[in-house]
Structure 1
Amino acid sequence: MTFKPARLLTALIAVVAMPAFAQNIAVVNGKAIPSSLAEAAVKQVVAQGQEKDSPQLREMIKKDLITREVMMQEAVKRGFAKDANVKAQLEEVRQRLVVNAMAREYIAKNPIAEAEIKAEYDRFKAFAEKEYHLRHILVDSEADAKAVIAKLKGGAKFEELAKTSKDAGTAAKGGDLDWVNPMSFPKVLIDTLAGMKKGEVAENPVQTQDGFHVVKLDDTRAAKLPTYEELKPELQQSLVQKKLLAYQDAVLKKAKVQ
């Protein structure tokens, strides 16, 4: 087929114009929605494992972006973009996005080493190799707690005294906390349990933010621990958070706050 000059020029213009048109998924009231927004949304959804990349997903995202743009234009037209509360929230989001971008770059340049994760797992194993079956009686003051301990030494039943505990959830069960892992314990309780035998009541009350606890150790057993591979993602995330907190503290120390 032979093109006449005018038809050939039209075809060439169409070929040149197509990439520019493909850069946008739609134009809403004269404002273009770039295809890069849709591509980013597709990647995010697919990365989260919610959906697979498909024509249906892309069409759904396209409709969502168009709807969002239409509603945004309407909100701006009605003056909501100038609302003081909206501006404050936008600034908060802006700060969070910028700081998160910096944090991601910091971790990318200072990654958590495999040896660090393994060392953290070893610490976890040493710390959580036992589970404890505990009972407690929670009271307001150290004096009240010592009075309870004195009654127990005098022959009173722990289960009976537990009925007066401030912890309503365990008071009716004789103070029974069931089997618990020390990972959830405050250090002061761990130190107390270290010297106790089965069936014993702690000599001294344990103070936490909730009050004073009279603690009884019913039993211990070996804990069923997750494997290194099972726990690795959680340990890695914990180490990332620690590293970011240390970085945050270092930056704060350099700041001049008045």
Structure 2
Amino acid sequence: QTLTEADLALAEGELSQQFAQMPPEQRRAAALSAAIEIKVMAAQAVTTGLDKDPDFQRRMAFLQQRALHGEMVEKDVIGKVTDAEIRARYDQEIANTPPTNEVHARHILVKTKEEADTIIKQLDGGADFQKLANEHTSDPSGKTSGGDLGWFGPGQMVPEFDKAVFALAVGKYTEQPVQSQFGWHVIQVEDKRAKQPPAFDQVKDQARQAVIRDKYIALVKSLRAEAKVEIPDEKLKKTVDALENTK
């Protein structure tokens, strides 16, 4: 059998992960060696009739269908996505999203309400919040950062904490301790801001993937309807239908 340059290029592409760390010339030689092994073993398999085995033929039929599926996705889904569609998806789902209110806060976490009350009294007397956090908080990440939590938006903290922190004005701290599943918190808001939606270039790939997903689902639904797919097992059919409805 003849092994052509096209065969070698195909082998390099298909086996690229195995040879990824090799220099180009060595990678080419390794791909050629692997291609020769595959050719001679396949020829022997045909000689002994392995290609006629029903299980093998079923696997090959499935692999062929899978490869054709991939070609269809490339040609009729990915290949038909336009820049205008990507931009429209961004404008629809991201650009028009209202800004998210975020806060930059600090907290001091203690085990008892009495400890929290004492800390609030110290703050009322002019004590420095960051210093008290370093001295008293039981939150390991806050012991060297003055209880700094950085910036976060609604829903990122437990509900009790979330409600209290977003009710505070900039520079203010909670006048009453806030209880959560972790203990008692004294919270201070450093700053607030409205976080704008990300720019198009930042999320272009995500928008593109969303367009691809929708095109793929639409194509599959259309083809399934034309094919009139029937599943005799009623229980399995319900499970498949439920799965399809989530797409």
Q: TM-score range by the shorter chain?
A: 0.3 to 0.5
TM value normalised by structure 2: 0.46
TM value normalised by structure 1: 0.45
**Higher RCO (CA < 8 A, seq sep 6+):** 2
